[in-house]
């Protein structure tokens, strides 16, 4: 018998798709700020409100009653019925609760399911930029190819149907929309959305529409993609309870889609996540049935903060458009001569204010920083004073 080799074979490589995606550009600055005393974070996109008591109480009561089991893979039928009523009342689009609605662990899981359900290796997805940091990695992890379509500050960061049309190739499979936008707060008018839907219809494309900020619009009514002519049969509609109901940690989301599409999404969900936690589903049910009052009050307060922070940026010389939705301001810092990353890093260490560099959100974000106004007026005022002091040192 030959002697055993003293060297072990080299461990095979990790997934190329997983190793090539970047770490989130959001978390780095938030984590540093969390370790600093007296730091003010305008970084993470999370409501500063506590989940309303009646919603928390519904979850507590369900636990006290011993409701700790799995639910249907689709989610609690009573929650799906409530979601169906909610979407139809708001946008006039009906989804059958038995077969066209899936309760997910947040919209993030919904996005992952949508990408894996429709994409084959090499399929392209058109993505407006700047965009939420998860969009392009989720597409890549599903074997797809994200194709960024850059918006600009001059056009309010809206991407048009004509821009999508110019980017079409034989490999294009879907368009991924995220309006109101994180990070820019941009929204689309109905005629703008309809042109994109018409383009998708003409080329047999899917639409994945992330509408998690739909309730957080201020001067105009949100346009649900599925409500446009010809959209419902090709749209995977993603939404949830995190932002409007201050329920980020509950991880309660949902997908609405035609039955033949949703069945495939549910298969993946049933093998990976199985079901959303029952306590979170009970809380979401209470939110859907009796959560409207707190939503309207939170939107009112966000609107006040929106105007306050934008006025503050413009007064100090950082040009900033008034966002139409979500809870982010996206001021330009180009006149400082710093890159977005340099500005964010120096601001954090010199004035202890955390913002997110715009380049973390893709093409078109360089020269801007994202500032969340999901914070008290007092904290926003303090942050603006520090930012103005920092800007005066540079200019």
Q: Last residue of a domain, which of 242, 272, 290?
A: 290
Which helix (H) or strand (E) is 254 found in, with range? strand 253-256
Q: Encoding tokens for residue 234?
A: 């090709």
Residues 75 and 212 grouped into a single domain: yes
Residues 304 and 186 grouped into a single domain: no
**Is 56 among the domain residues?**
no
Which residue's structure tokens are 């002697």?
A: 3
Residues 373 and 268 grouped into a single domain: no
Query: What's the CATH number where 218 sits?
Result: 3.40.640.10
Q: For residue 93, give its domain range.
A: 67-290
pLDDT at 340: 96
Residues 275 and 297 grouped into a single domain: no
**Is 336 among the domain residues?**
yes
**What is residue 12's DSSP assignment?**
P
Interhelix angle for 53-64 vs 278-290, to 10°?
Answer: 140
* Cβ-proximal residues to 392 (8 Å cutoff; 6+ apart), any chain: none
Residues 20 and 37 grouped into a single domain: yes
pLDDT at 5: 55
* DSSP strands (E only) in the chain: 40-41, 101-104, 124-129, 145-150, 172-178, 206-210, 235-240, 253-256, 328-329, 353-354, 356-357, 369-372
pLDDT at 308: 98
Query: What's the CATH number where 347 sits?
Result: 3.90.1150.10
pLDDT at 37: 80
Residues 306 and 262 grouped into a single domain: no
**Is 217 among the domain residues?**
yes
Domain count, the chain: 2
**Is 8 among the domain residues?**
no
Residues 160 and 258 grouped into a single domain: yes
Residues 299 and 283 grouped into a single domain: no
- The SS3 assignment for 365 reads coil
**Is 58 among the domain residues?**
no
Residues 241 and 271 grouped into a single domain: yes
- 217 by Cβ neighbours in 10 Å (0-12 / 13-18 / 19+) ranks as buried
Residues 254 and 303 grouped into a single domain: no
Residues 35 and 184 grouped into a single domain: no
Dihedral (Cα; 267, 273, 278, 282), 10-degree rounding: -70
Residues 46 and 166 grouped into a single domain: no
Model pTM above 0.85: yes
Q: Encoding tokens for residue 112?
A: 């992952």
**Is 7 among the domain residues?**
no
Q: Last residue of a domain, which of 259, 290, 321?
A: 290
pLDDT tens across the length of the chain (395 residues): 555 556 788 898 898 888 888 877 666 666 777 777 888 999 878 899 999 999 999 999 999 999 999 999 999 999 999 999 999 999 999 999 999 999 999 999 999 999 999 999 999 999 999 999 999 999 999 999 999 999 988 889 999 999 999 999 999 999 999 999 999 999 999 999 999 999 999 999 999 999 999 999 999 999 999 999 999 999 999 999 999 999 999 999 999 999 999 999 999 999 999 999 999 999 999 999 999 999 999 999 999 999 999 999 999 999 999 999 999 999 999 999 999 999 999 999 999 999 999 999 998 899 999 999 999 999 999 999 999 999 999 98
Q: Last residue of a domain, which of 222, 256, 290?
A: 290
Contact 147/135 with Cβ under 8 angstroms? no
């Amino acid at each position: 018998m030959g002697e055993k080799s003293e060297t072990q074979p080299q461990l095979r490589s990790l997934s190329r798709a997983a190793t090539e995606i970047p770490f989130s550009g959001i978390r780095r600055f938030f984590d540093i700020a969390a370790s600093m005393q007296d730091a003010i974070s305008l970084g993470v996109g999370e409501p500063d409100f506590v989940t309303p008591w009646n919603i928390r109480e519904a979850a507590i009561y369900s636990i006290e009653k011993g409701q700790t089991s799995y639910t249907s893979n689709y989610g609690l039928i009573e929650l799906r019925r409530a979601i169906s009523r909610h979407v139809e009342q708001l946008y006039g689009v009906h989804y059958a609760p038995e077969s066209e609605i899936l309760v997910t662990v947040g919209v993030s899981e919904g996005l992952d399911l949508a990408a894996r359900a429709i994409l084959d290796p090499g399929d392209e997805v058109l993505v407006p930029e700047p965009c939420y940091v998860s969009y392009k990695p989720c597409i890549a992890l599903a074997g797809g190819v994200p194709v960024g379509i850059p918006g600009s500050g001059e056009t309010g960061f809206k991407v048009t149907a004509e821009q999508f049309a110019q980017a079409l190739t034989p490999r294009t499979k879907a368009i991924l929309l995220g309006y109101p936008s994180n990070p820019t707060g941009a929204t689309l008018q109905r005629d703008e959305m309809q042109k994109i839907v018409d383009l998708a219809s003409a080329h047999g494309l899917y639409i994945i529409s992330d509408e998690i900020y739909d309730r957080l619009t201020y001067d105009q009514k949100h346009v649900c993609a599925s409500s446009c002519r010809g959209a419902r049969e090709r749209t995977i509609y993603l939404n949830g309870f995190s932002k409007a109901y201050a329920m980020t940690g509950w991880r309660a989301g949902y997908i609405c889609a035609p039955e033949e599409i949703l069945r495939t999404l549910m298969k993946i969900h049933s093998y990976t996540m199985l079901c959303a936690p029952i306590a979170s589903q009970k809380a979401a049910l209470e939110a859907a049935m009796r959560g409207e009052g707190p939503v309207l009050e939170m939107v009112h307060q966000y609107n006040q903060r929106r105007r306050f922070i934008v006025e503050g940026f413009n007064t100090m010389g950082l040009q900033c458009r008034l966002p139409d939705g979500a809870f982010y301001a996206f001021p330009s810092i180009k006149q400082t001569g710093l890159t977005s990353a340099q500005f964010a890093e120096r601001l954090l260490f010199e004035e202890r204010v955390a913002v997110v560099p715009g380049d973390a959100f893709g093409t078109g974000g360089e020269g801007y920083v994202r500032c969340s106004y999901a914070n008290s007026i007092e904290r926003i005022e303090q942050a603006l004073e520090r930012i103005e002091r920092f800007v005066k040192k540079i200019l």
